[in-house]
A and B are shown apart, each in its own frame.
Chain A
Amino acid sequence: MRELSTKQKILRFMANNTVPLLFVVIIAFGVPLSGYSPTYLAGEVISRISRNTFLIVSLLIPILAGMGLNFGMTLGAMAGQIGLIFTTDWGIVGIPGILLAMIVSTPLSILLGWWCGKILNMAKGREMVTSYIIGFFMNGIYQLVVLYGMGPLIKIISPNLLLPRGYGIRNTVNLIGIRKSLDNFLMIRIGGVPIPVGTFLVIALLSVFILWFKKTKLGQDMRAVGQDMEVARAAGIRVEYTRIMSIIISTVLAGYGMIIYLHNIGTLNTYNSHMQIGMFSVAALLVGGATVASAKIRNVFLGVVLFHLMFIVSPMAGKRLIGQAQLGEYFRVFVSYGVITTSLVLYEVRKKRERGMSGLALAQDQEVTS
């Protein structure tokens, strides 16, 4: 291999990190425009990191197994929400409440993840769009259970949770009992910025788990399946089973992530919270420089910081710039979707370009010989 010049190196770096660099530019303009103080921004960003990281990490495992971005993580979010509804109903507060909600969500997540994995195995080659539709489909079932089943079929004790008509859960559930209980555990302040060490510890633990998981036999099998299903199958790896496992793990983690997310917010929008979460998590991960084919822990952290910094400053920046906060809000929605679109397009285009390379080599070869 010949050495690349510095200029080429910079160009290649920029080509491989287009999305994060674009965000740095947006933020570089947005932050001064918004006029927020650094302390305020730091506090907000820290809070967003603690709130969202767990959810985003749940996307990593299916990417490892070559199944792309798991838009079906909403299934886990639903399971987490059902866990929270029950623990709220039972009146269990604080960290035990969070733990119990996680425990309740686990079997649900496993079941949903297994089903989702099964369906995705039937739709190889278009996992992403299928997982995205699965999210919508399951939302219907979720509504059926929560809006109609809870009350008459599934006992709910607390009347505060039920709609006035006597069955179905209210549109918003107050999570006051567990609100910020994990965040406030071991909370410290550095220069006026509150840091929820408890939540950070959980996130650190999760990160270590992911890194460890990649070293296990199952992690290695997923890597093999992700690179080439047929080669993995020929070597005796159970491809379908491995893919289902990756979705189950993702779904369970998404369930936990949703519980941590909602505990930070403090209220559950019973019929809306889970729908948006997939899109925001995917966008944040991609902003961090991940692609459909590869994602690492550092992409998660970089993504969460960049994406949410943009999210925080854009309404204010819009207001200062044009006089309309609404504009900034639409802008950030546009950017979120734009990022996902760009990443998906880049992924497909790169895949194609690699195929076209061998012909060029052949032509060059011939020029040399003739």
Chain B
Amino acid sequence: MNNELGAPLLEMQHISKDYFGNEVLSDINFSLRRGEILGLVGENGAGKSTLMKILFGMDEIHQTGGYGGSIFIEGDEVRFTSPIDALASGIGMVHQEFSLLPDSTATENILLNREPLKHTLASELFGERLNTLNRESMEKIAQGAIDKLGVPLDGKMLVSEMPVGHKQFTEIARELSKEATTEMEEGLRLLVLDEPTAVLSEQEAESLLKAMRTLSSEGIAIIFISHRLQEIIDVCDTIMVMRDGRIIKTVPSEGVNVTDIAHWMVGREVNAAKRNTRTFNYEDSKVVLSIRNLWVDMPGETVRNVNLDVHDGEILGIGGMAGQGKLGIPNGVMGLFPAGGQIVFQGEELPLNQPRSLLNAGVAFVSEDRRGVGLLLDESLEWNITFTAMQIQDKFLKRYLNGLVSWRDQKAIEEETMKYVKQLEIRCVSTRQNARELSGGNQQKVCLAKAFAVTPKLLFVSEPTRGIDIGAKSLVLDALRRYNQESGTTIVMISSELEELRSVCDRIAIVNDGKVFGILPATSDSAKFGLMMVGQEVQEV
């Protein structure tokens, strides 16, 4: 490359970003040469996606007060105001979720809304959109992009009939084809791939990596975001590790091994959070819930063949990267998503796909989807807290006519609600207030209260602190810990935040690729958890 000595293709200097005072990125500096492949790794929430949003000038960034620092492209400072600007400078991105039309061909998808047109008479009268599509030219351009990628993709194939890998190639080919169909100055120069291999089979991933090398040799730089560390090492020139909104390490990939990266990813200062100090006696406690061969069809959180034993009275944590299936486990067990396999609770096998049977047996669930599953947004706090207990255990009801009529007992409902409003410090105007009007943290407390109201023997809590402020966070975690100690309720807590799990749980199971990868005591070294999260065996010493 002749600009080896000139300015780098992309340079970011002192990039910082905060959301209303909450700092998510600080002092990010890095640069990228033409044809360089940069591997970007970090836990969920480390700031990777925010960084990419800044690069692309997404609306979300402007609407929340912009960013600090500067971005240079080949030495010129740029400040993109929309992804279209970024595109015009030759930067393309392939997102994790496919953005494809199922009943259209690969070619149509590659050139979606950028189709070459044939001039028609009607367009003179009624505007451009009445020009007809130039199918020949479409096929030529699409084929050109596919060839550049060097993959066997059939342009005439419908997306709905494609294997998943081909869908990924279609997305990439779309970015590549942009140089031929838009007013880009000089074609695609930088491609961002966000977790492109997460959904691919090994073979498909292999051919994608090959395609990446091909693109790199043609001078296109790639930012490769992935949790599969071996792939990062295999394909990247440079590896950049982010944690808590900072760049922890930028190293050439040569000589680096997976364990190092995992260390950098999760290795925090030890005093970060209050550690759980109790040592749970596993030898004396029975298995209360045992899960065998569980599969769950939860979109984006598929679970495959999970086996897990939960001991009576413990707090078990389930962690793992987003999309690996940790959320699917409670949702599948509780019957909210189609599931199969076997679950035995207190020695009794319970049927799957029936929320009722689990609730009857004394298993409760606080969903990660507060607004969608957890709450009746348009009903009062009273209803939200007492509804499940009323329906399952006939609490808060008055009986008339020999039990023929079961009438809502308003007084009992109010009392119960008040009890939890006080106990969990739910901030509300009255117990009749609609759940929609509460803040996220208080909504979460309502969800907890709903679960406590059924006095469960086992409680699944999914992402209990997601999207709530720090004060509410510690209150929620304390409430869980206290509830476990006082009433002996077994708790299974699912969270993306490892530190949070380590501060509350006795043991932590890490889920990877839909399976339980391993279980370690919460006091284990955090690097071990980091390794398990990225699918690496831990060598016990």
Residues of A within 8 A of B (CB): 212, 215-218, 220-221, 223-224, 227-228, 230-232, 234-237, 356, 358-359, 362-363, 365-366, 369-370
Q: Is the CB of B31 closer than 8 A to any CB of chain A?
A: no
A346 CA to B128 CA, complexed, in Å: 38
Which residues of B have CB within 8 Å of A365?
295, 304
User: Is B129 a contact partner of A218 (Cβ separation < 8 A)?
Assistant: yes
B168 to chain A, nearest CB (A): 15
Q: Is the CB of B433 closer than 8 A to any CB of chain A?
A: no
Which residues of A have CB within 8 Å of B338?
356, 359
Determine chain A's interface SS by DSSP, over half rule.
Answer: helix
User: Is A362 a contact partner of B113 (Cβ separation < 8 A)?
Assistant: no
In the complex, the 5 A-B pairs of residues with the closest C-beta atoms, listed nearest first: A359-B297, A359-B338, A218-B129, A235-B113, A235-B112
A236 CA to B112 CA, complexed, in Å: 9
A217 to chain B, nearest CB (A): 5
User: Is B340 a contact partner of A363 (Cβ separation < 8 A)?
Assistant: yes
User: Is A224 a contact partner of B112 (Cβ separation < 8 A)?
Assistant: yes
User: Is A217 a contact partner of B304 (Cβ separation < 8 A)?
Assistant: no
Taking a contact as CB atoms closer than 8 A, the residue among B100, B112, B130, B297 that contacts A362 in the complex is B297
Which residues of B have CB within 8 Å of A370?
293, 305
Taking a contact as CB atoms closer than 8 A, the residue among A212, A216, A228, A362 that contacts B101 in the complex is A228
Residue-wise interface mask of B (61-92) relative to A, using a CB-CB cutoff of 8 A (1 in contact, 0 not): 00000000000000000000000100000000
The number of chain B residues with a CB under 8 A from chain A is 30
Q: Is the CB of B259 closer than 8 A to any CB of chain A?
A: no
Which residues of A have CB within 8 Å of B293?
366, 370
Other than A217-B130, A230-B99, A362-B304, give 18 A-B pairs with Cβ distance below 8 A.
Answer: A215-B133, A216-B129, A216-B130, A217-B117, A223-B104, A224-B101, A231-B100, A232-B112, A232-B113, A235-B99, A235-B114, A356-B338, A358-B299, A359-B297, A359-B340, A363-B295, A366-B293, A370-B305
User: Is A362 a contact partner of B104 (Cβ separation < 8 A)?
Assistant: no
A234 CA to B84 CA, complexed, in Å: 11
A216 CA to B134 CA, complexed, in Å: 9
B121 to chain A, nearest CB (A): 11
User: Is A217 a contact partner of B115 (Cβ separation < 8 A)?
Assistant: yes
A235 CA to B104 CA, complexed, in Å: 14
Which residue on chain B has the smallest CB distance to residue A241?
A: B129
Q: Is the CB of B207 closer than 8 A to any CB of chain A?
A: no
Q: Is the CB of B103 closer than 8 A to any CB of chain A?
A: yes
Which residues of B have CB within 8 Å of A224?
101, 104, 112-113
A221 CA to B299 CA, complexed, in Å: 28
Residue-wise interface mask of B (501-519) relative to A, using a CB-CB cutoff of 8 A (1 in contact, 0 not): 0000000000000000000
Given contacts A227-B102, A366-B340, A370-B305, is CB(A218)–CB(B130) below 8 Å? yes
Q: Is the CB of B465 closer than 8 A to any CB of chain A?
A: no
Given contacts A216-B131, A237-B113, is CB(A366)–CB(B104) below 8 Å? no
User: Is B133 a contact partner of A216 (Cβ separation < 8 A)?
Assistant: yes
User: Is A362 a contact partner of B133 (Cβ separation < 8 A)?
Assistant: no
A236 CA to B297 CA, complexed, in Å: 32
Which residues of A have CB within 8 Å of B108?
220
7 A-B pairs in the complex with CB atoms less than 8 angstroms apart: A232-B113, A235-B112, A356-B338, A362-B302, A366-B293, A366-B295, A366-B304
A114 to chain B, nearest CB (A): 15
A321 to chain B, nearest CB (A): 44
User: Is A220 a contact partner of B133 (Cβ separation < 8 A)?
Assistant: yes
B114 to chain A, nearest CB (A): 8
User: Is A221 a contact partner of B113 (Cβ separation < 8 A)?
Assistant: yes
Which residues of chain B from 122 to 153 have a CB within 8 Å of any chain A CB? 122, 128-133
A228 CA to B104 CA, complexed, in Å: 11
Q: Is the CB of B360 closer than 8 A to any CB of chain A?
A: no
Q: Is the CB of B120 closer than 8 A to any CB of chain A?
A: yes
B298 to chain A, nearest CB (A): 10
Which residues of B have CB within 8 Å of A231?
99-101, 112
A28 CA to B304 CA, complexed, in Å: 53
